[in-house]
Structure 1
Amino acid sequence: MSRGYVLYGAAGSGSVAVEAALTLLGEPYRVVERATWKDAAVREEMARVNPMRQVPALILPTGELMTESAAILTLLADGCADSGLAPGLESPMRPRFLRWMSFISAQIYSLYWVRDDITRLAADAGHEAVIRERTAARITDCWRIMGEQAAPAGRFLLGDEVSVLDLYLAVVSRWGPRRKSFYAAAPGLAGVVRAVDAEPRLAALWAERFPFAEGWEG
């Protein structure tokens, strides 16, 4: 793995969870900044790497492309079993890990394709506020469901050691409607994301890539 990883991503995006995982693993990587939701030209440029025109996209040291944040995080964690970033295949926590990784990806993260550019689905300007309101309500309801069914097994979701599931949760829960809404919907998970926020090994990463600026919780 001497070539290291190349990560196409952007500050404040889902790629930050991947950066956090690579940081905890001590793996060399470089980021190619691509804020695809801000500029159509950037999206078209990104299409040369990922036809979905989305980040994160990770070029493995072998040269192979990986997309889809949950899959990337799982691959990285499974590739270094002694890191503790994911439960092993035989662990009783493995089903829980896979369930909630997939839940965040399919039920919550996917809605940001809409929220990042409401015009993708809004037939006219009058529909935009309704779509924004209803997607926010759906996200909040999904957090409520997860909060009711995914009680932490320790300091974090799967025990007392941070996992890529915790990283994923902490990053995605910071997006709109933002953390105050998340805390209200899933109060039992508040301690988990705050523990990830306070992880000393990630302090420099958070400061550079997703800073806790005034009002960041919403």
Structure 2
Amino acid sequence: MSGGYVLYGAPGSGSVTVEAALTLIGAPWRLEDAASWKDVTDSAEMARVNPMRQVPALVLPSGELMTESAAILTWLADSHPAAGLAPGLESPMRPRFLRWMAFISAQIYALYWVRDVPGRLAEGAANEALIKDRTLARIADCYRVMDAQVKPAGRFLLGDELSALDLYLAVVSRWGPRRKGFYAAAPGLAAAVRAVDSEPRLAALWAARFPFNEGWEG
């Protein structure tokens, strides 16, 4: 592998999960940063890199572009097995890892494209408010489904080792309904995301990219 990774991201966005994974992996990488996810949607440069105008977007050392956070995290974990961020192909935990990575991506993360700018799909303040209320309820319901079916077998979701799945859930669960809403819907998963929050290897990253400011839990 020649050179390093180039990651396009923004503070507090889904790119922070990839930044966390790259930090734990220890591979060389460089951040092309936007001020916020809102700036990304209006950026001609981002449209050139990723026509969907979304982050994260990761350029591999080969020059290949990857988008979609679940795909990026899974590929990074599989490409750097020494970091221990995903169960191996022969592990009995592999199906569980893939299932919930895809679940977070498809059932929860995807709703924020609607929720963040409801005017994309609705016209008028009343309709936009309805979309925000119903997407919030749907997200909470998805967390309840996870809580009922994912029974952490250790300190983290898949055992005693931190995985990309833990990183993914820890970041996404900080968005609406924010952590207090997440804890209420998924109390059985609370300890795992708190363990990610307190991971010493990520302390500097959280402080710089998604700080635990007063009232951050909601």
The TM-score bracket by the shorter chain reads over 0.9
Q: Does 1:169 align with 2:181?
A: no
Measure, in 2, the Cα distance between the counterparts of 1:40 and 1:67.
15
Residue segments in structure 2 that go unaligned for 5+ positions in a row: none
Measure, in 2, the Cα distance between the counterparts of 1:15 and 1:176.
17
Q: In the alignment, which residue of structure 2 is the partner of 1:110?
A: 110
Structure-2 change in CA distance of 1:30 and 1:39 (3 Å): closer
What's the CA shift for 1:10? 0.4
What's the CA shift for 1:39? 6.2
Q: Match of 1:16, SS?
A: helix
**Aligned residue identity for 1:205:** L
Measure, in 2, the Cα distance between the counterparts of 1:212 and 1:40.
25
**Aligned residue identity for 1:11:** P
**Aligned residue identity for 2:112:** Y
Spell out the pairing of 1:188-207 with structure 2 (5 A cutoff).
Answer: 188-207=188-207
Residues 26-66 of structure 1: CA distance to partner in whole angstroms, max 9, x if unpaired? 01111111334346532x33110001111000000111000
Residue segments in structure 1 that go unaligned for 5+ positions in a row: none
Q: In the alignment, which residue of structure 1 is the partner of 2:63?
A: 63
Spell out the pairing of 1:142-161 with structure 2 (5 A cutoff).
Answer: 142-161=142-161
**Aligned residue identity for 2:160:** D
**Aligned residue identity for 2:185:** A
Q: In the alignment, which residue of structure 1 is the partner of 2:85?
A: 85
Measure, in 2, the Cα distance between the counterparts of 1:175 and 1:79.
28
Given that 2:13 and 2:37 are in contact with CA atoms closer than 8 Å, whether structure 1 keeps it comes out as no
Measure, in 2, the Cα distance between the counterparts of 1:153 and 1:18.
24
**Aligned residue identity for 1:137:** A
**Aligned residue identity for 1:37:** K
Measure, in 2, the Cα distance between the counterparts of 1:171 and 1:27.
21
Measure, in 2, the Cα distance between the counterparts of 1:8 and 1:38.
12
What's the CA shift for 1:82? 2.3
Spell out the pairing of 1:1-218 with structure 2 (5 A cutoff).
Answer: 1-34=1-34, 35-38=36-39, 40-42=41-43, 44-218=44-218
Given that 1:36 and 1:46 are in contact with CA atoms closer than 8 Å, whether structure 2 keeps it comes out as no
What's the CA shift for 1:115? 1.3
What's the CA shift for 1:81? 1.5
Q: Percent of counterpart pairs with the same letter? A: 75
What's the CA shift for 1:122? 1.1
Given that 2:40 and 2:46 are in contact with CA atoms closer than 8 Å, whether structure 1 keeps it comes out as no
Measure, in 1, the Cα distance between the counterparts of 2:7 and 2:209.
13
Structure-2 change in CA distance of 1:133 and 1:63 (3 Å): same
Q: Match of 2:66, SS?
A: strand
Measure, in 1, the Cα distance between the counterparts of 2:37 and 2:200.
30
Q: Match of 1:31, SS?
A: strand
Structure-2 change in CA distance of 1:66 and 1:112 (3 Å): same
Work out the number of aligned pairs and report it: 217
Structure-2 change in CA distance of 1:39 and 1:79 (3 Å): closer
Measure, in 2, the Cα distance between the counterparts of 1:217 and 1:198.
14
